[in-house]
Amino acid sequence: MTTSKLPLYFAPLQGHTEAPFRNAFEQAFGGIDGYFTPFVRLEKGHFRAKDVRDILPDNNNVPRVTPQLLANTGEKAETILSLFLEHNYKEVDINIGCPFPMLAKRHNGSGILPFPEEVKQLMQIVTNHPEIKFSVKMRLGWEDAAESMALLPFLNELPLSHITMHPRVGKQQYKGEVDLDAFAAFGKECKHPLIYNGDILSVEDIERIQEEFPNVAGVMIGRGLLLNPALALEYKTGVELSHEEVIERVKTMHRQLQEHYEASTQGGEIQVLNKLKPFWEYPEELIGRKTWKAIKKSVNMDKYRAALRQGGLL
Ligand SMILES: Cc1cc2nc3c(=O)[nH]c(=O)nc-3n(C[C@H](O)[C@H](O)[C@H](O)COP(=O)(O)O)c2cc1C
């Protein structure tokens, strides 16, 4: 039996956990000790407007937000960092784990892991800015767990606040099993607080990680919280919410999101619809396959509302 509760972090999920979602989630559910933003990257040398909007402190109403950067050189990382500094962030996460092939082939995310010299050049940002607490979110490698083990002596010497490890390799994307043996081997040598991330779907899953890896500094959860938004709260309080209670809170959350997007989205209802639909993509089990299919098929707000009403979600 484990008694002490681990810190839980909401993983960044581009297209799902942007600021309006984080704000609505925190109000309706919570149970989270810190939120990480989806990565900010440069596109042809410029920031994407949606990335800037996402990290603006005025748009964020949750207790602890850590912005994340994705870059393949120290110079690009510095440019992104300057945006975070402009808005007074003191903690920054560096993504060397993203498996998206279009980015990885240019040595971004987990695509940089087989190139230790490039990782070192990127990580100069950490020693350049001792006033900032940097953390790293990574995978075991692009192709092989040996890549992260080879980087570890270097990472150990950096003044990082923690490392979050998703124990898959990049080329696996999200397929196959997480490699807990490789996570254990990395954890044994890692001198930084280590946060576990990957395939956590239930309170029992969190407790299993806690038991198997007593030194783990926390657990980061992504898709598990989209599937069951009550998961963190249930772990923290030890009380399981009824299905009805979860649905009520999901409805509250969706109402807040809808109000936000209706007030802020330019272009009309199709744009609003495109922002709202992804909200229902993961909790299919919660809302039923039929309801999700009707939501997905809806081509305007009237049809969307009808689908929600039919599914008892309005
Ligand atoms: C749709 C999607 C978008 C993601 N976007 C990001 C991102 O912007 N930054 C990042 O570090 N990881 C990103 N990830 C990876 C997640 O943060 C997390 O590491 C991964 O989903 C494994 O954790 P989980 O099994 O708890 O979801 C993304 C994953 C998915 C499925």
Q: Which of 284, 202, 208 is nearest to 240 (CA)?
A: 202
Percent of the chain with pLDDT over 70: 99
**What are φ and ψ of residue 36, in 5° steps?**
-110, 135
Query: How many A from CA of 17 to the centre of ligand 1?
Result: 10
Is 141's C-beta closer than 6 angstroms to any atom of ligand 1? no
**What are φ and ψ of residue 166, in 5° steps?**
-100, 105
What is the DSSP-derived secondary structure letter of residue 176?
A: S
Q: Please write the tens of the pLDDT for every residue from 21-74.
A: 999 999 999 999 999 999 999 999 999 999 999 999 999 999 999 999 999 999
Q: Would you state the pLDDT for residue 171? A: 97
Is 13's C-beta closer than 6 angstroms to any atom of ligand 1? yes
Query: How many A from CA of 13 to the centre of ligand 1?
Result: 5
Superfamily of domain 8-237: Aldolase class I (3.20.20.70)
* Alpha-carbon span 107 to 286, nearest angstrom: 38
Q: Would you state the pLDDT for residue 77? A: 98
Other CB atoms closer than 10 Å to residue 109's CB: what's the count? 26
Is 172's C-beta closer than 6 angstroms to any atom of ligand 1? no
Q: Which of 246, 311, 303 is nearest to 272 (CA)?
A: 303
Q: Residue 270: CB partners within 8 Å, gap ≥ 6?
A: 300
Q: Would you state the pLDDT for residue 3? A: 66
Is 199's C-beta closer than 6 angstroms to any atom of ligand 1? yes
**What are φ and ψ of residue 160, in 5° steps?**
-90, 150
Confidence of residue 275 (pLDDT cuts 50, 70, 90): very high
Q: What is the CA radius of gyration of the chain?
A: 20
**121: amino acid identity, one letter:** Q
Q: Would you state the pLDDT for residue 267? A: 83
Give just the sign of the alpha carbon dihedral 238, 241, 174, 164: negative
Residues 2 and 219: beta-carbon distance below 8 Å: no
* Alpha-carbon span 224 to 289, nearest angstrom: 17
* Alpha-carbon span 35 to 55, nearest angstrom: 11
Q: Would you state the pLDDT for residue 266? A: 87
Question: Using CA positions, which residue lies closest to atom 31 of ligand 1?
Answer: 13
Confidence of residue 182 (pLDDT cuts 50, 70, 90): very high
Residues 232 and 7: beta-carbon distance below 8 Å: no
